A and B are shown apart, each in its own frame.
Chain A
Amino acid sequence: MTGSILFLLIIVLGGIAWFFGRVKATRFSATNPKRGTVHSLPNYHGWYVALWAIGPALLFLVIWNIASPALITDAALASPAAEQLPQGQFARGAILAEARSIASGEQVRAFNPLSQSMVEPYKAAISYYQMIGMVAALLLVFACGVFAWLRIKPELRARTKIERVTMMTLLLASLIATITTVGIFASLIFESARFFSMVSPIDFLFGMEWNPKAVAGPRGETGFGAIPLFWGTVFIGAIIAMIVAIPLGLMSAIYLTQYAPPNFRAWMKPILEVLAGVPTVVYGYFAALTVAPALRDFAVSIGISGASSESALAAGVVMGIMIIPFVSSMADDSIAAVPSAMRDGSLAMGATKSETIKKVLIPAALPGVVGGVLLAVSRAIGETMIVVMAAGLAANMTANPFSSVTTVTTQIVQLLTGDQEFDSPKTLAAFALGLVLFIVTLLLNLIALRVVKKYREAYE
């Protein structure tokens, strides 16, 4: 019997438990029709029994699945066939892994004859432990189900208990998201620490040369100066993209909130927001195949030397277009949040609409707009697909928008694609870059959220 059938069986048993719990509760509800004598509705009693039947058994199965492989391996090693195994940790591990995958049916034939001899002990151990797990799980279902069923009384606070279980389930769901973030952060820190034990953080953060292939050897690593990457990232994501996105986003937000007739706004705003939903890979090939060649030809025609077909400008402009909806919807929200009394006050002074926007609405909405721009910057510098496709790989320190630059995200992709050893500084550098990126975007987000929140409070 496989795990999924066992799982389904437990669920079905839970359904039966629900039914029995409900029946028992219905019986005493019928005999105690007066309000208050029976604490909870029969449904709650049903769920109470069902949860008792399912919960502990599933919890046990999870723990068993984590614990049993080690037990199985121990049992297999205890068999007589294990005596011929080589002593080397690595070779031994490979054989055992092969034997295990044959035994569980994932692999058909062994490459190593020694593995073949281990298959039988493995099969025996697996079925032995599976049987133990299954029996124990089913016993738990019955034991806990009966225990809960016996506890059903008119005064049992099943409703309160179900409420608590609901709360715990929701808590668990939110914890999973949070813990994952913490886990990612921890793994970044851990791997980065390994990198920084090989390459000095000062060389990494302030070095001017990025060329991770030129590794000299342990403890003498060069070519890990990340400044050109940081510059490329800032140049594309925070300078060129923002030069495109801020004016266009802000002006479209002003038009949509202040001038557009309601029906025009009603279909214009969703279209603008669709820009945010276009997959970034689509922007990427738009940048690489359409914008970049056009910009290169333009640069060549006006006589700019060193124009590359993978230019910072192409990636930055397309990224800016991608960011427009972020800027415009944040600006839209913060302009709309300025009390209309401000606008009326200015109009009643005899100011025109554009004077009112320029002198009252924009200054009042500025913190919100700044917050939106910061969020957009943090989105832009973490953006990968567009720059991988359009920005190029050469780590140049240049302010010429027509030449090729590279970004942190592009380099992370470069370092981690293909076969890599996970203990070379070249690969670990990706984690260090990721950590820097993570910290920078985190700070930008924190500042942006704080700015937006402070501003919101000012008007409420």
Chain B
Amino acid sequence: MTELVDSTNSSESYTMTESAVPNISAGDGPLKMTTRNVDVFYGDKQAINGVSIDVTMDNVTAFIGPSGCGKSTFLRCLNRMNDTIPIAKVTGEITLEGEDIYAAKMDVVQLRARVGMVFQKPNPFPKSIYDNIAYGPRIHGLATSKDELDNIVETSLQRAGLWREVQDRLQDSGTALSGGQQQRLCIARAIAVDPEVILMDEPCSALDPIATAKIEELIHELRGKYAIVIVTHNMQQAARVSQRTAFFHLGTLVEYGVTSDIFTNPTQEKTRDYITGRYG
């Protein structure tokens, strides 16, 4: 993996090479995050093998692949959530706005404020809806007055499309909401700290189809305001919500490109087999 395409000047290189090295560029739009040769080890086991990929501001990027392919593991590298697993070791380079996020001087706490995350299962804190949203702004000191905090809470809930449903019961517990509402609450919570990137780890896998549709609609609306990376095992979902798709298999990045190309005209046989449902 040494012949990497330089991401900064490869904005229109969608002509797929036939080599095993997948295209890593996201194409158009300002670059937000880049990864180069990222390996992840859990103890002796290698979970991610030399993944290089670019994430842009304007596109929703989807990571797809069969279970255990490492897509979630890789996602968790992007905000260093793998740090919470003592045996996990990450090598290679990951940058946010050109800054190496694994550098010694990088403040993980600040990084996670800039790269928010939404988890597979909705995980609202057992606090009121208001306190759930206010949690991040409070710990980061984003609001200097109660009015300002109220304002952040309202804006975040509006952006997450939850405001109208909960505006009259902000003091109710966040865990009392339905699953889909809880997940939108978690998205609102992530938005409240004004991140640059939002990582979503299979955000709809615990939701029913109607709640899923609402989340997908929300992702469309948030596009452009935040760089969004979504992991999904649902290929239709990737096709619906994303503009760029990366296909992972056994810890390696097999193919990366414009979503419609990946789904209609994949260059790699593995990708074609996966999206036509031959395995997965």
User: CB within 8 Å of B: which residues of A?
Assistant: 261-262, 339, 341-352, 355, 359-360, 363-364, 458
Contact = CB atoms under 8 A, between A and B. Distances in A.
A345 B81 contact: no
Nearest to B126: A364
A458 B173 CA distance: 13
Of A341, A348, A351, A359, chain B has the most CB atoms within 10 Å of the CB of A348
B109 A352 contact: yes
Interface of B: 79, 81, 84, 86, 109-114, 116-117, 119, 121, 123-127, 135-136, 139-140, 186, 189-190, 193
Contacts of A262: 86
Nearest to B107: A350
A22 to B, nearest CB: 55
A360 B138 CA distance: 13
Given A349-B135, A349-B193, A344 B81 contact: yes
Nearest to A459: B126
Contacts of A458: 126
Contact of B109 (A343, A351, A359): A351
A349 B139 contact: yes
A341 B175 CA distance: 13
7 contacts: A344-B117, A344-B123, A345-B125, A349-B113, A350-B139, A363-B126, A363-B127
B interface, over-half SS = helix
Given A262-B86, A347-B84, A348-B81, A342 B123 contact: yes
A348 B112 contact: yes
A346 B112 CA distance: 10
B196 to A, nearest CB: 12
Nearest to A356: B139
Contacts of B109: 350-352
A459 B78 CA distance: 29
Given A349-B189, A364-B126, A341 B112 contact: no
Contacts of B114: 350
Contact of A345 (B79, B123, B193): B123
A458 B176 CA distance: 11
A350 B113 contact: yes
A299 to B, nearest CB: 44
A255 to B, nearest CB: 16
B125 A342 contact: yes
B81 A350 contact: no
A261 B121 CA distance: 28
B190 A349 contact: yes
Contacts of B110: 350
B263 to A, nearest CB: 30
Given A350-B112, A350-B139, 12 more contacts: A341-B123, A344-B117, A345-B189, A347-B81, A348-B81, A348-B112, A349-B112, A349-B193, A350-B111, A350-B140, A351-B136, A359-B135
Nearest to A366: B126
Contacts of A339: 123
Contacts of A352: 109
A348 B82 CA distance: 11
Contacts of B121: 341
